Chains A and B, each alone.
Chain A
Amino acid sequence: MSEMREPGFDRTVALVLRAGAFSCFFVMLAGLIVGWFIHGAIPLLIERIGVLLMLATPVVRVIVACFLFFREKDWRYGWISFGVLLILMLGAVFGIGEH
């Protein structure tokens, strides 16, 4: 099934992405502005939060879609979304190859 017959679904996912993009933008901007006046750890920390928010946004998008699919009892795509989430999490756990 690949028909776009659920405008509400699209809207919810779009909302997640928009919220993520805008909050990252403002957090990073705040980091830059603070960095203009103060040097050191504080602006860097704010910028780090912004970057982490950006990395988290697609993950949250997958979680929300997974939840929506399961709520619609669309098991197949619910589990597919869950699989994508697992792959993203594996990267976070095993991605420590420092050399």
Chain B
Amino acid sequence: MVTALLVVLGFCAGLLGALTGIGGGILLTPILALHFGIPIRHAIGTSLVAVITTSTASSSVHLQRHTTDIRLGMTLELATALGAAVMAYLVGYFNRNVLEGLFAGFLLYSSIMILVRGGKVKEGHPAPVSNGDLEIPPYQPQRYPLGLAASLVAGAMSGLLGIGGGPIKVPVMYIFMRVPLMVATATSNFMIGVTAAASAIVYYRRGDILVDVAAPLAVGVFVGSLLGARLASRVHTKVVVYLLVAVMFYLAGHLFLDLLRGTL
């Protein structure tokens, strides 16, 4: 019964993630913690598996459209993987309340940022294009040190909270490294798999991935994100984004309340 519920939850997270560009991890971790009674560290580790699933499925599509810069991605992965692995290791020493407080703060910050941008999740989440090859202007990535530093932070955030870190990487590649937006988005997505794997391996070794929770979630996420990718061009995403923001506010509030009551 719980398993079926987890498949449905994964399906919804995958579908909404593909429709809006908001990664599934940000919703899955708090829902697992609040509504399935899973300790937050296990919830983070478990949702990392779903994050890898989404990234793997969607970046294979981006790769076939030749919008991913594998060289740039691989270079920045040096930093994201390092940040993710080190932070995942440190999380083992974190107090549960600290983690929950950080997550609630992050949820609140993300939802406010989405509202401030008027419902845009990240800089120009690209409209899915179905017609063959895409025109990409020639470019040369600039300011590698800055890109690597930002990637280190994005990786650390991923290892800390079980998220992908796209909202950091995409603007840095686009604005500071002068990479075309389409390439920045695809490359960020490409990097998430390795970044999340770097921390997930640490979580797994520590016993923080609940296999019987991760499997139904990942099955649901896989189907949901495939369907979402197909529907993305036909659905009015702005409504969906505001719906998601409402859910994020609710989850942040719930986490804060539980922290105040000290019950969780």
Contacts and interface: CB of A to CB of B under 8 A. Distances in A.
Given A10-B63, A29-B219, A99 B214 contact: no
A97 B89 contact: yes
Interface size for chain B: under 10, 10 to 19, 20 to 34, or 35 or more residues?
35 or more
Interface residues of A, number: 52
B44 interface: no
B63 A57 contact: no
Secondary structure type dominating chain A contacts:
helix
Nearest to B46: A51
Contacts of B93: 97, 99
Interface in B46-103: 49, 52-53, 55-57, 59-61, 63-64, 66-72, 74-75, 77-78, 81-82, 85, 88-89, 92-93
B74 A80 contact: yes
B85 to A, nearest CB: 4
Interface in A26-68: 28-29, 31-32, 35, 44, 47-48, 50-52, 54-55, 57-59, 61-62, 65
A91 B199 contact: yes
* Residue of B70, B138, B207, B215 ringed by the most chain A CB atoms within 10 A: B215
A77 B52 contact: no
Interface in B5-54: 7, 49, 52-53
A44 B198 contact: no
A25 B219 contact: yes
A68 to B, nearest CB: 9
A61 B193 contact: yes
Interface string B130-155: 00000010111100000000000000
Interface of B: 3, 7, 49, 52-53, 55-57, 59-61, 63-64, 66-72, 74-75, 77-78, 81-82, 85, 88-89, 92-93, 136, 138-141, 179, 193-194, 196-207, 209, 211-212, 214-216, 218-219, 222
